[in-house]
């Protein structure tokens, strides 16, 4: 039993480390683009309209991408809740029946 607990703890710690690295990466990229805008605004103004739009969309798209990775891909419990919500409320599907396993049978022998 303790080995199962330690395995679960290791798995949780590994997922938290991955989430921390992803968060650090996305925040770093977001801050670097912010720094470019603050330090060298003429670089941004010299871009074409398409370049400005791409730069802005790149910055804005990082937030939902980060949320999707951390809270959907790397968090199975949240993913299950979200899929159940979509299945029941959005797609109007019946909830999946919970599978039950018969563990033992009691017989009344005399």
- The pLDDT tens digits of the residues spanning 39-71 come to 999 999 999 999 999 999 999 999 899 988 888
Which is higher by pLDDT, 38 or 105?
38
Which is higher by pLDDT, 76 or 50?
50
Task: Give SS3 for 9.
Answer: helix
- Average pLDDT for the chain: 85
Classify residue 93 as left (phi > 0), alpha (psi -120 to 50) or beta: beta
Tell me what percent of the residues of the chain surpass a pLDDT of 90. 41
Q: Which residue has the tokens 């010299």?
A: 46
The residues spanned by each domain of the chain are: 2-90
pTM, to two decimals:
0.63
DSSP conformation class of 90 = I
The residues, any chain, with a CB within 8 Å of residue 82's CB and separated by 6 or more, are 72
């Amino acid at each position: 039993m303790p080995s199962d607990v330690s395995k679960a703890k290791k798995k949780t710690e590994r997922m938290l480390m991955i989430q921390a690295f992803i968060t650090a990466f996305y925040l770093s990229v977001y801050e670097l683009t912010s720094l470019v805008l603050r330090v060298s605004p003429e670089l941004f103004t010299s871009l074409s309209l398409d370049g400005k739009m791409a730069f802005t969309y790149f910055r804005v798209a990082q937030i939902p991408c980060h949320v999707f990775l951390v809270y959907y891909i790397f968090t199975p419990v949240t993913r299950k809740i979200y899929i159940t919500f979509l299945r029941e409320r959005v797609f109007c599907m019946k909830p999946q029946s919970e599978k039950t396993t018969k563990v033992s049978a009691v017989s009344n022998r005399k």
